[in-house]
Amino acid sequence: MAELVPIPLPLLLRRAFLEYEREGKIFDLPKGKFFRGLSGLDTSVRFHGHAASTPLGPAAGPHDQLVQNIVLSWLGGSRIIELKTVQILDELKIPRPCIDIINVGYNVEWSQELRLEQSLREYVGAAMFIEILKASKLLGEDFPGGRGATIFDMSVGYDLKGISSPRVRAWMEAMKDATAIINELRPSLTGPWARYRDLAYPARISDTLTLSTFHGCPAGEIEGIVSFLLTEMDLNVCVKLNPTLLGKEHVEHLLHDVLGYCDLRVTQEAFDKDLQFAEALEMIPRLDRLARSRGKRLAVKFSNTLVVKNHRTFFSDEVMYLSGAPLHVLTLNLVKKFREHLGLRTLPRENGETSSGGAISLPEAIPTSFSAGLDSNNMGNCVAMNFIPVTTCTDLLRPGGYARLIRYMEKLGDKMNALGATRLPDFVVRYAGQGEAAVERVTHDLKDSLRAQFTGADSAQMNAAQAWLDGHVATHLKKWVRDGQGVPLRTVCAQIEAGAHHHAPLPGVLAGSLRGALSGLEQALVDVAGVLNTPILVKETTENPRYAWEQNKGVPRKIGSKLWLYDCINCDKCVPVCPNVANFIYETTAAEIAYDNFLLSLGEPPQRVPGGIFKVAKTHQLANYADACNDCGNCDVFCPEDGGPYIEKPRFFGSLETYRKYGGRNGFFVDFQNGETTVYGTIAGAAYQLSMNNDRARFLNADAEVEIPPRGGAPVSWKLKSGVSATTYKLDMLPYLQLKLLVESIRDPRRVNFANVGGL
Ligand code: SF4
Ligand code: SF4
C-alpha cells in the first residue's frame, strides 16, 4: 500500500498555473466550476466572529487533507474549511479500502494520514496557495473579488491526553502563528513564483477548532478537552456531537420504520458509551459560560457519523461509520430535539455579537455547524436553519467530485432570488414562513428584558418604550416580512436603530440600553427564525422520500469487464471522484503494433523471432499518481469495470524513493533530467528501466541492458547483467514498447498532471 506523500508547493503551483493556461482547469476542475459569486447576492456569514464569504465547506475528511484538496474545495466555493482531524497518533495504519459510497455512504476512515508536521505544512501551504492565486490574478481581476473571505477551522482528536500533549499543543500554536513555517516555505518559491516570496501571508492560519472525539468518549473527557482548548489554547471551539444523542429507539425508528434502511443495525454499546443527552444539556451551557468568561465562542456541530454493524464485505472491520442520506434525517431530528431544549437563550448583545455585559437582552441560538448528507438540494434548508457552516463530504465523493460544489451555491442563489432575499439573514427569516413569529419573539423578549432590567423605571416611560417596540419596531419588521422583498433586513434594522436615536420617546439610560440591544436586532431575528424553521424543515425532510432506502438503494453499475494497464470504457468517473486528484487522463497513440522479439547471441547480429501484437485501442487513457493516492477505494466503487483504477492503471510515483518502496506490481517513476527522460517501471511485478533522448533509447530488464534506436528496430548493442549466463538471450520487446508508449504519452505537454509537471 502506498503512503500519501505531500507534493511540494512549487510543483503544485506549477501544475495549477500551467494547467489553467493550457487546459482551462486547475487540478482537473474546469474553470466553469469555480465559484465566482452569485450576481447581486451576498452569501457571507460570520463564524466564531470571523467573516466568511459563504457558509459552505468540506467537513473534516478526505477533501481537506492535502493542499490540492483544500484549494479545490475553495475554488468550488467553500469558505469555511474544516481541516482534516489531526491527532497525536500520527502513524496509524488505517484499513484499506476505507470509503464505500456504494449508495448511502460508509467509511472506516479516521484522522489525517500524514505526520503532524506534514499536516501543518499542508494547511499552511494551502493558505499560501490561495493567497498566491488571489495575488496573481490568474483567474481574472475580479476573482475572487469580495468573495474571498475564508476561514480555516482546525480539527483535533481524540482525547485530552493526546490533545494536551506537547506535540499537539505545539501544532495548534503553530496554526495560530505560522510565521516560522511560512518563512520556511518562502525560499521554495523560485522562478516564476519568486515574486510571491515576500507576499504578506496571514500568519494566523486558524484560531478556531472543531473538536472530534472518539465514538464512546465520556462526558467528562469531552468537557475537559473543550475547557482546555478554551482556556489554555485560547481558541474558539465547536464541539462535534454524535447522532447517538437521539437515543437508540428513536434512531432505529427513523432508520427502519420511517426510512426503510432495515439492513442497518446499530449497537447498544455505541449508545451506552457515548455522551448522554441529559449530560449534553448540562455540559453545553456550562462550556458556553466558560467560553464567554474567556471572551471566546462555543458552537456545537451536528453530527459525527453513526456507528453501524458492517453488513457488507467491502471493509473487514466489524463496524463502520454511516453517512449520507439516512444520517441527514437522523441529524436533523437530533438538531430539532436539541433545539427543543437548548434552542434559544436570551443574552445581551452589542453590535450584532453577544456581549459579555450590557443590560437589555435579545434571544440567541447556540451557534450550530452542520454535517450529515449535505448536498445541493438540501443546502437551502440547512442554511435556513441557520447552520454555519454547512459542511459536506459524502456527496463530493460521488461522480463530479469538487465540481458538485458550485451547484450548492447556485441552488442556494435560486432560492434566495425566489424569496427576494439578497443576503442570507433575509433568506433565513423569510424561508419557512416564520418571519412574523420571529419578530414577535424578539420584541417579546426585548420587552421582558426591559421590564426585568429596569424594575424601578417610571411606568409611563416603560409603557412608552414598550409601545414603541410594539408599534414601531414590530410593525416595521412585520411589514418588511410581508412586503419588503428587495429591501435588505439590515436596512430596516438600521432604520429602527436610528429611530431609537432620533424619534423614539425613550428617556435616559433606558433609551441607551435599548439602542445598544437593537444593534443586535438582525442577528436575533435570524437566530429565532432559524430555530423556528427547524421543526418545519425537519418534518418536511423526514417525510421526503428522497432520503428513504427505496430511493437510495441503487448501486453504481458494473459492466463485468476487467481493467488493464491500457484502455477502458473511458467514462472518466475515476478522475473527479478522487478527493486527492490522484487519477488523471493522458493521451496516447492508439496503435496495433506487431512486434518481433530478438535472440541476442555473443558476436552475432540480433536475430528476429516472432513476438506478438501490442495493442492500444484508445487514445484516451487513465493513470494514477500514487503519491497522492491513499488506496481509499472510492474510484473502484464508481468505476464500471472491475479491478480498481488505482490498482490496474499505471501508477506513477513522485520520486525514485517512493517508487522503489511502493511500486509493487504496477508502478512507474518518470525522471526528467538533462534532456533525457528515464522511466522506471514495474509491469506485472517485473522491473524495467528505459532512458530516452533524441539519439538513443537504453532499455534495462532484469537480465540485460540494450540500446535500441529511438525510432525502433533491432538492438544496436546489448550486454547481459552480471550473474546472467546465457550464450543466447531472448529479449521480450513488449515491456519496452509499453514503457516507450507510456513515457512518450506522459510527457505530452498539452496535458498537465502530477507525473509530468516536473518535466514541463
Ligand atoms: S485514486 Fe482512488 S483509491 Fe486512490 S485516493 Fe483517489 S479515489 Fe482513493
Ligand atoms: S478506469 Fe474505470 S472509472 Fe476510470 S475512466 Fe476507465 S472505466 Fe471509467
Sheet with 353-354: strands ordered across? 353-354, 344-350, 361-365
Does residue 497's CB lie within 6 angstroms of at least one atom of ligand 2?
no
What confidence score (pLDDT) does residue 350 get? 46
Q: Calculate how far, in angstroms, residue 749's C-alpha sits from the geometric centre of ligand 1.
A: 24
What confidence score (pLDDT) does residue 356 get? 38
What confidence score (pLDDT) does residue 503 get? 59
Of the listed ligands, the closest to the CA of 625 is 1
Q: Calculate how far, in angstroms, residue 757's C-alpha sits from the geometric centre of ligand 1.
A: 20
Ligand 1: which of 27, 109, 624 to mutate, most ligand atoms within 8 Å of CB?
Answer: 624
What confidence score (pLDDT) does residue 57 get? 98
What confidence score (pLDDT) does residue 95 get? 82
Of the listed ligands, the closest to the CA of 566 is 2
Residue nearest to atom 4 of ligand 2 (CA): 574
Task: Compute the radius of gyration of the chain from its Cα atoms.
Answer: 30
What confidence score (pLDDT) does residue 603 get? 82
Does residue 645's CB lie within 6 angstroms of at least one atom of ligand 2?
yes
Q: Calculate how far, in angstroms, residue 66's C-alpha sits from the geometric centre of ligand 1.
A: 13
Q: How confident is the prediction for the chain on average, in pLDDT?
A: 92
pLDDT grade, residue 208 (50/70/90)?
A: very high
Cα Dmax for the chain: 119
Does residue 578's CB lie within 6 angstroms of at least one atom of ligand 2?
no
Give the ligand 2 atom nearest the CA of 572. 5
Give the ligand 1 atom nearest the CA of 583. 1
Residue nearest to atom 4 of ligand 1 (CA): 629
Does residue 65's CB lie within 6 angstroms of at least one atom of ligand 1?
no
Residue 567 has pLDDT above 90, yes or no: yes
More confident residue, 219 or 512: 219
Does residue 629's CB lie within 6 angstroms of at least one atom of ligand 1?
yes
Residue 17 has pLDDT above 70, yes or no: yes
Spatial CA neighbour of 634 closest among 645, 642, 624: 645
Q: Calculate how far, in angstroms, residue 630's C-alpha sits from the geometric centre of ligand 1.
A: 6
Determine the Cα–Cα distance for residues 450 and 290; give it in Å rounded to an integer.
Answer: 26
Residue nearest to atom 6 of ligand 1 (CA): 578
Q: Calculate how far, in angstroms, residue 578's C-alpha sits from the geometric centre of ligand 2.
A: 12
What confidence score (pLDDT) does residue 93 get? 78
Of the listed ligands, the closest to the CA of 96 is 1
Give the ligand 1 atom nearest the CA of 628. 5
DSSP 154: E
Check if the beta carbon of residue 360 is closer than 8 Å to that of residue 450: yes
What confidence score (pLDDT) does residue 301 get? 97
Does residue 585's CB lie within 6 angstroms of at least one atom of ligand 2?
no
Instruction: Looking at 583-652, list the stretches that DSSP marks H as alpha helix, in order from N- to C-terminal side.
Output: 634-638, 645-648
Ligand 2: which of 571, 584, 636 to mutate, most ligand atoms within 8 Å of CB?
Answer: 571
Q: Calculate how far, in angstroms, residue 638's C-alpha sits from the geometric centre of ligand 1.
A: 11
More confident residue, 389 or 713: 389
Residue 507 has pLDDT above 70, yes or no: no
Give the ligand 1 atom nearest the CA of 581. 6
Of the listed ligands, the closest to the CA of 638 is 2
Q: Calculate how far, in angstroms, residue 646's C-alpha sits from the geometric centre of ligand 1.
A: 6
Spatial CA neighbour of 584 closest among 22, 28, 76: 28
Residue 174 has pLDDT above 70, yes or no: yes
Give the ligand 2 atom nearest the CA of 571. 8
| Cβ-based burial of 605 (10 A; exposed 0-12, middle 13-18, buried ≥19) | exposed
Of the listed ligands, the closest to the CA of 648 is 2
Residue 455 has pLDDT above 80, yes or no: no
Does residue 632's CB lie within 6 angstroms of at least one atom of ligand 1?
yes
pLDDT in tens, 306-365: 999 998 888 888 999 999 999 999 999 999 999 999 989 876 554 444 443 346 789 999
Does residue 569's CB lie within 6 angstroms of at least one atom of ligand 2?
yes
Q: Calculate how far, in angstroms, residue 643's C-alpha sits from the geometric centre of ligand 1.
A: 13
Q: Calculate how far, in angstroms, residue 651's C-alpha sits from the geometric centre of ligand 2.
A: 14
Determine the Cα–Cα distance for residues 37 and 76; give it in Å rounded to an integer.
Answer: 10
Least confident of 577-586, 604-613, 706-715: 706-715
Does residue 634's CB lie within 6 angstroms of at least one atom of ligand 1?
yes
pLDDT grade, residue 172 (50/70/90)?
A: very high
Residue nearest to atom 2 of ligand 2 (CA): 639
More confident residue, 511 or 433: 433
119 cis-preceded (ω within 30 degrees of 0): no
Residue 8 has pLDDT above 90, yes or no: yes
H or E element: which one contains 21? Answer: helix 9-23
Residue 187 has pLDDT above 70, yes or no: yes
Classify each residue of 228-267 as buried b or exposed e, where b means 16 or more C-beta atoms within 10 Å of its C-beta: bbbeebebbbbbbbbbbbbeeeebbebbbebbbbeebebb
Ligand 2: which of 101, 565, 574 to mutate, most ligand atoms within 8 Å of CB?
Answer: 574
Beta bridge mates, 616: 591
Determine the Cα–Cα distance for residues 266 and 251; give it in Å rounded to an integer.
Answer: 9
* Structure-derived torsion over alpha carbons of residues 452, 455, 458, 461, reported in degrees to the nearest 10: -10
Q: Calculate how far, in angstroms, residue 417's C-alpha sits from the geometric centre of ligand 1.
A: 38
Average pLDDT over residues 197-221: 93
Q: Calculate how far, in angstroms, residue 404's C-alpha sits from the geometric centre of ligand 1.
A: 18
Does residue 206's CB lie within 6 angstroms of at least one atom of ligand 1?
no
Residue 149 has pLDDT above 60, yes or no: yes
**C-alpha count within 13 angstroms, C-beta hemisphere, residue 20:** 17
What confidence score (pLDDT) does residue 502 get? 66
Give the ligand 1 atom nearest the CA of 62. 5
What confidence score (pLDDT) does residue 377 get? 98
Least confident of 61-70, 187-196, 242-251, 702-711: 702-711
Grid cell digits, residue 29: 476542475
- CATH code of 36-46+82-114+153-191+199-433, in short, is 3.20.20
Length of the chain: 760
What confidence score (pLDDT) does residue 355 get? 42
Does residue 568's CB lie within 6 angstroms of at least one atom of ligand 2?
yes
DSSP 51: E
pLDDT grade, residue 384 (50/70/90)?
A: very high
Average pLDDT over residues 631-657: 96
Domain boundaries, the chain: 36-46+82-114+153-191+199-433, 583-759
Does residue 339's CB lie within 6 angstroms of at least one atom of ligand 2?
no
Helix (H, G, I), strand (E, B) or coil at 227: helix
Ligand 1: which of 625, 635, 648, 754 to mutate, most ligand atoms within 8 Å of CB?
Answer: 635
Give the ligand 1 atom nearest the CA of 636. 2
Determine the Cα–Cα distance for residues 680 and 712; give it in Å rounded to an integer.
Answer: 19
Q: Calculate how far, in angstroms, residue 622's C-alpha sits from the geometric centre of ligand 2.
A: 7
pLDDT-above-70 percentage for the chain: 97
Q: Where do we find the cell 436603530?
A: 497
Does residue 369's CB lie within 6 angstroms of at least one atom of ligand 1?
no
Q: Calculate how far, in angstroms, residue 748's C-alpha sits from the geometric centre of ligand 1.
A: 23
What confidence score (pLDDT) does residue 352 get? 47
Residue 722 has pLDDT above 50, yes or no: yes
Q: Where do we find the cell 483567474?
A: 139
Residue nearest to atom 1 of ligand 2 (CA): 645
- Write phi, then psi, for 425 (nearest 5 degrees): -55, -40
